[in-house]
């Protein structure tokens, strides 16, 4: 038995900490959910931030460059700081998909809780509660209307305008979907898990709302409640 192992057996020392299982080192921010950590390209697991070229609504009909803002805010918070990552997967672009922390704080959790990214529920539900809190508080991108980044990318691939989908234009610019389902009358906010999949049929009593207060006054409840 080694000296270290003997001392650990006697409780006179602590076991050596396990080495990180992924990249570690200083952070360089690429965009809101992609980093270089110690020179390795990392896609953060379980979060999806607005693309750098993406715009969001203000809730009053105007648009703002939310994607560029998110990249800048992420840079201010993490650029140059040391991160430790735990590898989860390798994606199709050969990036390391990982959970990363700075000073013990989960970067993904920080981004979602501060309204800089959405929970990427196709891959993880770890950050759903943090997203709900950020949305309720109107933090960051939740100050107005947000197109889920995965919907924005799909629209771009299909050659449609992600900033103003056809159905939203027909709804007069209002983005909240009032859906009638087995659960009653519920509404879906932009960025909600099933927002992109929900289609509104006004002939069957479904409708659009311009804000949550309007939906609640009409007797509809949020799909996540």
> Per-residue pLDDT tens for 16-75?
555 558 999 999 999 999 999 999 999 999 999 999 989 888 767 678 889 999 999 999
Nearest to 46, CA basis, from 135, 107, 132: 107
Q: Give φ, ψ of 115 to 5 degrees.
A: 75, 30
Average pLDDT over the chain, rounded to an integer: 84
Q: How buried is 68 (Cβ within 10 angstroms: 0-12 exposed, 13-18 middle, 19+ buried)?
A: middle
**pTM for this entry:** 0.66
pLDDT band at 7 (very low <50, low <70, confident <90, very high): very low
Give the separation between CA 28 and CA 38, rounded to whole angstroms: 8
How many CB atoms sit inside 10 A of residue 145's CB?
A: 26
Which tens digit of pLDDT belongs to each residue from 93-103?
Answer: 999 999 999 99
Q: What is the mean pLDDT of residues 180-190?
A: 84
**Contact assessment for residue 119 and residue 127, using Cβ atoms and an 8 Å cutoff:** yes
Encoding tokens for residue 196? 């992109």
Encoding tokens for residue 181? 């389902």
Structural domains in the chain, sorted by start: 24-143 (2.40.50.90), 166-222 (no CATH)
Give the separation between CA 187 and CA 196, rounded to whole angstroms: 12
pLDDT at residue 4, rounded to an integer: 46
Paired residues of 47 in beta bridges: 119
Residue of 150 and 159 predicted with greater confidence = 150
């Amino acid at each position: 038995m080694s000296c270290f192992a003997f001392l650990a057996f006697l409780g006179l020392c602590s076991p050596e900490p396990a080495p990180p299982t992924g990249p570690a080192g200083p952070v360089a921010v690429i965009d809101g959910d992609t980093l270089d950590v110690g020179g390795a390209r990392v896609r953060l697991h379980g979060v999806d931030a607005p693309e750098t070229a993406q715009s969001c609504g203000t809730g009053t009909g105007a648009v703002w460059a939310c994607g560029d803002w998110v990249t800048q805010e992420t840079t201010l918070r993490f650029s140059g700081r040391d991160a430790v990552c735990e590898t989860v997967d390798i994606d199709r672009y050969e990036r390391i998909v990982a959970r990363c922390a700075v000073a013990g704080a989960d970067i993904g959790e920080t981004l979602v809780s501060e309204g800089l990214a959405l929970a990427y529920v196709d891959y993880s539900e770890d950050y759903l509660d943090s997203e709900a809190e950020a949305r309720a508080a109107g933090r960051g991108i939740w100050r107005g209307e947000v197109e889920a980044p995965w919907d924005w990318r799909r629209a771009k691939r299909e050659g449609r305008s992600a900033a103003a989908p056809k159905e939203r234009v027909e709804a007069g610019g209002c983005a909240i979907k009032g859906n009638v389902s087995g659960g009653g009358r519920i509404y879906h906010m932009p960025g909600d898990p099933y927002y992109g999949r929900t289609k509104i049929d006004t002939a069957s009593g479904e409708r659009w709302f311009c804000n949550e207060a309007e939906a609640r006054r009409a007797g509809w409840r949020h799909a996540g409640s």
